[in-house]
Copies of this chain bind each other. A is one copy, B any other.
Amino acid sequence: MKKLINNAEDVTVEQLKGMALAHPDMLEVRFDPNFVIAKGAPAKGRVAIISGGGSGHEPLHGGYVGIGMLDAACPGQVFTSPTPDQMYEAAKAVNGGKGVLQIVKNYTGDVMNFEMAADMLRADGIEVRNVIIDDDVAVKDSSYTAGRRGLGTTVIAEKVCGAAAAEGYDLDRNAALCKKVNVKGKSMGMALTSCITPQNGTPTFDIGDDEMEIGIGIHGEPGAERMKVKNADKITEILTTHILDDEAYTRKLAEWDVDKGESVDVEVVDETFQSGDKVIAIVNSMGGTPISELYTVYGKLHELAEKKGISIVRKLIGHYITSIEMQGVSITLVKTDDEILRLYDASVHTPALNWGT
């Protein structure tokens, strides 16, 4: 294993320390338990937005903490869910009295621990809503997840909900917005190579020199299909077709019922893509794929979307939700409307996303 690290057990803390030194204008890092909070916390007079998950997916989530996006991020060890006490302490630090929205990628450990943190916060009288992102069209159920996994739609949800909080959306309106983004977003990824976690030191999975994994998970967990390597156009076509042709996915997701004072399972149905849709696209490196290759993928994606009558009105092309140094790409498409587009375009000042005034 060759990595720019010191000791495998310290990677998360050392990266967080570097982040704190690099971005004091945007964020602050607290340790034991570890979390990243936005400069200017707590979020006085508005909803606070929190996310988190295992490390190894940088810039997710710490790179999205700052002005106009996340108020806090809770990083676990590499590919390991953060603990409820991280989320609890982060929420206590950023809560400004208007409640906390926790955006949770659908991995079993993350969902469970964010639920536990929500219970702890409610016991302290803090209003909490958890919204699950489950946008990966590749597989239903995997080694990390019951149901579909959370992928790139998470980035768009964090951006949009952060802007909505800044605009003054109350907690329920912001949670409804987050759920809307989730049913409008679909993603799928693929890998040319495995990643290597620092703690293991060897590839997470074996893959032949002539093979690729379609529908890979962000922890290197198996995807939908192992096949011979294809060219960029064909790979882009496989991912894009899965996303655009995905039928209305129906599942039950836990939601907080204010009247009952408990979580209840609510049926959620995805939207499907239609001619005339305007979308935000992410062409995302899994970590080791260079930016140059992403543009070849973007070119083909643009052509395929256009053929279906779908316009890509905003795009992110780069490293947004990664698997350490894995080579590969994921594509995310999120249908927009005026509200989503306005909030997406709002100013943001974080290490990884930065635009506007």
Chain B, Cβ-Cβ closest to A315: B22
**A299–B355 touching, CB < 8 Å:** no
Complex: A3 Cα to B209 Cα, angstroms: 11
Q: Does A27 interact with chain B (Cβ within 8 Å)?
A: no
Q: Does A325 interact with chain B (Cβ within 8 Å)?
A: yes
CB distance from A131 to the nearest CB of B (A): 26
**B357–A295 touching, CB < 8 Å:** no
Q: Does A143 interact with chain B (Cβ within 8 Å)?
A: no
Which of B5, B55, B329, B352 sits near A4, CB closer than 8 Å?
B329
Chain A residues 317 to 343 lying within 8 A of chain B, measured CB to CB, are: 317-319, 322, 324-325, 327, 329
**B302–A21 touching, CB < 8 Å:** yes
Q: Does A126 interact with chain B (Cβ within 8 Å)?
A: no
Chain A residues 170 to 217 lying within 8 A of chain B, measured CB to CB, are: 192-193, 209, 212
> How would you classify the secondary structure of chain A's contact residues: helix, strand, loop or mixed?
mixed
Interface centre among A5, A14, A15, A291 (most CB of B within 10 A): A291
- Contact residues in B for A296 (Cβ distance below 8 Å): 4-6, 11, 14-15, 18
- Contact residues in B for A63 (Cβ distance below 8 Å): 291
Q: Does A56 interact with chain B (Cβ within 8 Å)?
A: yes
**B15–A293 touching, CB < 8 Å:** yes
- Given contacts A209-B2, A292-B15, A292-B324, is CB(A298)–CB(B21) below 8 Å? yes
Chain B, Cβ-Cβ closest to A63: B291
- Given contacts A21-B298, A325-B327, is CB(A291)–CB(B192) below 8 Å? no
Please encode chain A, from 29 to 67, with 1 for each CB lying within 8 Å of some chain B CB and 0 for all others.
000000000000000000000000001101100010000
Chain A residues 1 to 31 lying within 8 A of chain B, measured CB to CB, are: 2-7, 11, 14-19, 21-22
Complex: A299 Cα to B318 Cα, angstroms: 23
Indicate how many identical chains form the complex.
Answer: 2
Chain A residues 295 to 322 lying within 8 A of chain B, measured CB to CB, are: 295-300, 302-303, 315, 317-319, 322
**A58–B11 touching, CB < 8 Å:** no
Q: Does A222 interact with chain B (Cβ within 8 Å)?
A: no
CB distance from A45 to the nearest CB of B (A): 26
Q: Does A93 interact with chain B (Cβ within 8 Å)?
A: no
Chain B, Cβ-Cβ closest to A356: B357
Complex: A232 Cα to B13 Cα, angstroms: 14
- Contact residues in B for A6 (Cβ distance below 8 Å): 231-233, 296
Please list 23 pairs of residues, one from A and one from B, whose beta carbons are closer than 8 Å in the complex, sorted by A's number. A2-B193, A2-B212, A2-B327, A3-B293, A4-B289, A4-B297, A6-B296, A15-B292, A18-B299, A21-B298, A21-B299, A22-B295, A22-B317, A55-B292, A58-B290, A58-B291, A288-B325, A289-B325, A290-B322, A290-B324, A290-B325, A317-B351, A325-B327
Binding site for B on A (CB under 8 A): 2-7, 11, 14-19, 21-22, 55-56, 58-59, 63, 192-193, 209, 212, 229, 231-233, 235, 287-300, 302-303, 315, 317-319, 322, 324-325, 327, 329, 351-352, 354-357
**Contacts A5-B293, A21-B303 supplied; 16 other A-B pairs, CB < 8 Å:** A2-B192, A4-B289, A4-B297, A5-B232, A5-B296, A15-B293, A15-B295, A21-B298, A21-B302, A22-B298, A287-B290, A289-B325, A292-B324, A318-B319, A355-B355, A357-B357
3 nearest CB pairs, A to B:
A18-B299, A18-B295, A4-B293
